[in-house]
Amino acid sequence: MEFANQTALVTGAAGAIGKGIAARLIQEGGRVFITDLDQGRLDAVCAELGPNCHGAAADVTAEDQVRLAVQAALAALDDRIDVLVNVAGAVGQGGPVEAMTLDNWESVFAVNCRGTFLFTREVVPVMKRGGRGSIVNFSSKSGKTGSALMSAYSAAKAATIGFTQALAFELAPVIRVNCVCPGITEDTGVWSNVSADYVENLKLPLPEVVKKFTSKVPLGRLARISDVVDATCFLASARADYMTGQAVNITGGREMH
């Protein structure tokens, strides 16, 4: 029971990866508060995961909503948050940079960067008061090596790595801060959006897009949700107590730095 007597806040938890992380934390003895945009989907996740899961809707880009979500989490979790997992993210509209709108660029940065910052800012004082904490942010393979036709997303995820590293220095030794950098992950909304954009931009049918991306992965397949959940929960756990400031690839060897 790796997370026995621990509490966690997970953003973006109505999606497959966030839900999977929340489920694993609960399975390993933790109590979890989840957030996302849609209260109905959060209620369904809470009903599925049981009495140790609570949730409230919040827009991660809205300062007042983030503050209220953290207050609700503290009320549900006995005024403690031991683990924060910033899953919430957005790919935006992919395409050539000359065709990208400013609104698209700013919305991608708002969800991926502002949202991660706002939740972290609210939770850090709670963790300091408790004398410990672990934060896991979500970057991407595209934050390590930028992806063509995804310049906004690549830039935002690179910024997330920089934010993670800065906080690792700033918050040690009380709070560890790491991030995960998944490659393309099956059965997620991100993959659905990315694949649709590449079908349009590359003028290839979906099976050819899948084949194109899979051929670049040394281990010969795309990431599974369980791969991302395993790495994230490891970083959140005491098994990673000597790790901070790391950007851990989950790419089947596609990314190696």
In one letter, which amino acid is 232? T
CA distance 222 to 232: 17
CB 49 within 8 A of CB 28: no
CA distance 53 to 42: 10
Residue indicated by tokens 């140790």: 52
Sign (positive or negative) of CA dihedral 28, 121, 246, 240? negative
Find, among 68, 36, 80, 34, the residue nearest to 54 by Cα. Answer: 34
Q: At what angle do helices 115-130 and 151-171 cross, to 10 degrees?
A: 20
Q: At what angle do helices 151-171 and 102-109 cross, to 10 degrees?
A: 30
DSSP string, 184-239: -BTTSHHHHHHHHHHHHHHT--HHHHHHHHHTT-TTSSPBPHHHHHHHHHHHHSGG
DSSP 8-class letter at 56: -
Among 138, 153, 191, 198, which one carries the catalytic annotation? 153
Beta pairing partners, 177: 135
Please confirm, yes or no, whether 153 is among the known catalytic residues. yes
Annotated catalytic residues are 153
